Amino acid sequence: MGSVDHESVQQQQVEVPPHQPFFKSLKMTLKETFFPDDPLRQFKNKPPSKKLMLGIQYFFPIFQWAPKYTFNFFKADLIAGITIASLAIPQGISYAKLANLPPILGLYSSFIPPLIYAMMGSSRDLAVGTVAVGSLLMGSMLSDVVNPNEDPILYLHLAFTATLFAGIFQAALGLFRLGLIVDFLSHATIVGFMGGAATVVCLQQLKSILGLVHFTHGADIISVMRSVFTQTHEWRWESSVLGFVFIFFLLITRYFSKKQPRFFWVSAMAPLTSVILGSVLVYFTHAEKHGVEVIGELKKGLNPASVTKLVFVSPYMTTAVKTGIVVGIISLAEGIAVGRSFAMYKNYNIDGNKEMIAIGTMNIVGSFTSCYLTTGPFSRSAVNYNAGCKTAASNIIMSIAVMLTLLFLTPLFHYTPLVVLSAIIVSAMLGLIDYEAAIHLWKIDKFDFVVCMSAYIGVVFGSVEIGLVIAVAISVLRVLLFIARPRTFVLGNIPNSGIYRNVEQYPNAKHVPGILILEIDAPIYFANAGYLRERITRWIDEEENRIKATAETSLQYVIMDMSGVGNIDTSGISMLEEVKKITERRELQLVLVNPGSEVMKKLNKSKFQNHLGQRWIYLTVEEAVGACNFNLRARTNLKIDESENWDNV
């Protein structure tokens, strides 16, 4: 069977780890939970002045990279900053419209927040600004309470307040090292949610593309389709032609830049080019008199203060808090995911908690300066990356370009048609419908595909909030199922070796006569202790039935490989005690293999180790099988001797 001779090898005992005081153990657990990256290690054995400088650099990374800044870096960041500004200006105006906010807020939100992020952010490639999904989500949640058309002032103030609470929540997650909350948004959840939100955003642009005056406030596909097809007599062909022409133009430029990466600037400049061409066309053809709506007057000047406009009265404050938390989590997930993706390409690391503090701070400051929710959108960051940015200074360049636009160029946007802004939104959103990722999920993990499609369907047929709740609920349910229903396997011996593996995975693995070897592949907690007891009992029943059918040696030993059991609680220990009693009633011997340090510590404290006997706890499966085989041979020889003696009598 590939096992060693038990007589020739001395058993290596599984040691009980040294006793640690409770508070020391608790300290280590908290450290690993909230400080896995050990952020304080850089302060060790440093003089106070150095610690102060390191502390400043930790919260303001600009003081770390600015002293090393070179002219070559500046040239690269200047090109990148101007390029992303050409994308940020039309996108900012478009996304503000998506959030039912005045278009000028999109420019305000592309001025102050990037400056804050450039000082506090740890990503070199993240380009800060408003995002479509966050804008849609904020607009959807706030519109349920306040109609933006009937009370635009209150709606605007609520948007500032929701942005404040989003920033506070984001910064608090970073300060208290609670970024693990964002981890509950799995990759499958984000793919489905983003795809659903992008679909809803595209559908809502039909209002401007078809030139409709009255349109549903609902975000679901049924409400939108009903609104579109009950007003066919209101469709404006002028607006539709203009919209589809610009969508085609934007998609063609994106396709070209994707095929020819060195011409990335073609797709980056396309939105601003569309705005200019659309404005010129409307100005000379007077299309605004033929059903093509235009932006109208945009106020010149920099961001006005909005501190006094925040709403802290009931019932609106509750809405602002709820909206802030939801959009805050979504924007954090997007910003951190985008930052990590580009950091991986350039082979550097970003600190997730530091990013949360930076994004949260820029939203807090933004809420005081007439900005609404901002984060690091993928499209803008991709342009920043492809443009060759070297540091976060590209955000400063972009901010300066937006500032100049606010001071001198806003009147030029008067004739910008809304249908062009809708075309910009549609072209950007089509890139978020990642059907290839959904197909990949189907091939790899069907459950992840179900999570993805649940999020998508929930958003498209319900609302953005419903889709998010459904996806997170299914993801959490999956985690609970993993905990409550851990996998157990029967192990067999690989011929001519001392290796024991899952008999389902390795068909050539052979059952060891008289011995059932089980592997538990998860910590044992109160949530799964009952299930494991029942499953182990069933494994024993199934093994005994198999032995009867094959006429093999009767079952004598049950070996439990606990290498994968990282921890155990009191319910788990009670379960082991019950399994021990079950095996004793069936005249079987329970054997444990390789319990971890935490498990061994608790088995020792609970006296289970003494009840079982140290001789039945082994370091490896091979060693345990060798001991059991030795005992089986000894028992067989004893029976033979007794039989011979009886015959002689």
Band the pLDDT of 467: cuts 50, 70, 90: confident
Task: Please write the tens of the pLDDT for every residue from 161-220.
Answer: 999 999 999 999 888 877 666 666 777 888 888 888 888 888 888 888 887 777 776 667
Residue 24 lies in a domain: no
Spell out the long-range contacts of 472-476 with Cβ–Cβ below 8 A and sequence spacing 24 or more. Answer: 472/184, 472/185, 472/189, 474/450, 475/184, 475/185, 475/186, 475/188, 475/189, 475/451, 476/184
Greater confidence (552 vs 619) lies with 619
- Residue 257: pLDDT over 80: yes
pLDDT of res. 37: 60
Q: How far apart are CA 97 and CA 296, in angstroms?
A: 13
- Residue 9: pLDDT over 50: no
Greater confidence (361 vs 260) lies with 361
Band the pLDDT of 51: cuts 50, 70, 90: confident
Residues 225 and 135 in one domain: yes
Greater confidence (6 vs 581) lies with 581
Q: How far apart are CA 570 and CA 233, in angstroms?
A: 71
Confirm if 108 and 369 have CB atoms less than 8 A apart.
yes
**Mean per-residue pLDDT over the chain, rounded:** 85
Residue 26 lies in a domain: no
For residue 41, the tally of other CB atoms under 10 A from its CB is 8
- Residue 646: pLDDT over 50: no
% of the chain residues with pLDDT over 90? 32
486 Cβ partners below 8 Å, 6+ apart?
520, 521, 522, 523, 528, 531, 532
pLDDT of res. 40: 66
Task: Please write the tens of the pLDDT for every residue from 512-559.
Answer: 888 999 999 889 989 899 999 999 999 999 998 888 888 777 889 999
Average the pLDDT over 327-349 and give the result. 83
Residue 589 lies in a domain: yes
Band the pLDDT of 500: cuts 50, 70, 90: very high
What is the 8-class DSSP label of residue 19? P
Residues 117 and 207 in one domain: yes
- Residue 34: pLDDT over 90: no
pLDDT of res. 58: 83
Residues 431 and 349 in one domain: yes
Q: Which tokens go with 229?
A: 């097809």
Residue 344 lies in a domain: yes
Q: Is residue 365 classed exposed, middle or buried when 0-12, 13-18 and 19+ CB atoms within 10 A define those classes?
A: middle
Domain that holds residue 184: 72-295+309-479
- Residue 608: pLDDT over 80: yes
- Residue 36: pLDDT over 80: no
- Residue 490: pLDDT over 90: yes
Task: Tell me the CA distances in angstroms from 332 to 139, 175, 181, 324, 376, one per residue in order.
Answer: 18, 14, 11, 12, 9
Show which of 429, 453, 479 is a domain's final residue. 479
Q: How far apart are CA 178 and CA 174, in angstroms?
A: 6
- Number of structural domains in the chain: 2
Average the pLDDT over 465-487 and give the result. 82
Confirm if 591 and 14 have CB atoms less than 8 A apart.
no
Show which of 479, 500, 531 is a domain's final residue. 479
Residue 240 lies in a domain: yes
CATH number of the structural domain spanning residue 588: 3.30.750.24
Three-class SS of residue 490?
strand
Q: What's the order of all strands across the beta sheet hosting 500-502?
A: 500-502, 488-493, 515-520, 557-561, 589-593, 617-618
Residues 421 and 450 in one domain: yes
Greater confidence (188 vs 635) lies with 188
Band the pLDDT of 8: cuts 50, 70, 90: very low
Residues 359 and 380 in one domain: yes
Residues 163 and 218 in one domain: yes
Average the pLDDT over 9-22 and give the result. 67
Furthest C-alpha separation in the chain? 123
Residues 337 and 282 in one domain: yes
Band the pLDDT of 26: cuts 50, 70, 90: low
Task: Please write the tens of the pLDDT for every residue from 87-134.
Answer: 888 888 888 988 889 999 999 999 999 999 999 998 988 999 998 888
Residues 129 and 92 in one domain: yes
Band the pLDDT of 3: cuts 50, 70, 90: very low
Residues 117 and 237 in one domain: yes
Q: What is the DSSP string of 197-262?
A: HHHHHHHHTHHHHTT-SS-----SHHHHHHHHHT-GGG--HHHHHHHHHHHHHHHHHHHHHHHSGG
Average the pLDDT over 605-627 and give the result. 90
Confirm if 589 and 616 have CB atoms less than 8 A apart.
yes
- Residue 649: pLDDT over 60: no
Residue 181 lies in a domain: yes
Q: What is the DSSP string of 21-48?
A: -HHHHHHHHHHHHH-TT-GGGGGTT--H
Show which of 462, 479, 496 is a domain's final residue. 479
- Residue 2: pLDDT over 50: no
192 Cβ partners below 8 Å, 6+ apart?
438, 451, 452, 453, 454, 455, 456, 459, 467, 471
Band the pLDDT of 22: cuts 50, 70, 90: low
% of the chain residues with pLDDT over 70? 91
Residue 50 lies in a domain: no
Residues 491 and 474 in one domain: no
Residue 16 lies in a domain: no
Residues 443 and 583 in one domain: no
Average the pLDDT over 303-309 and give the result. 92
Average the pLDDT over 383-393 and give the result. 86
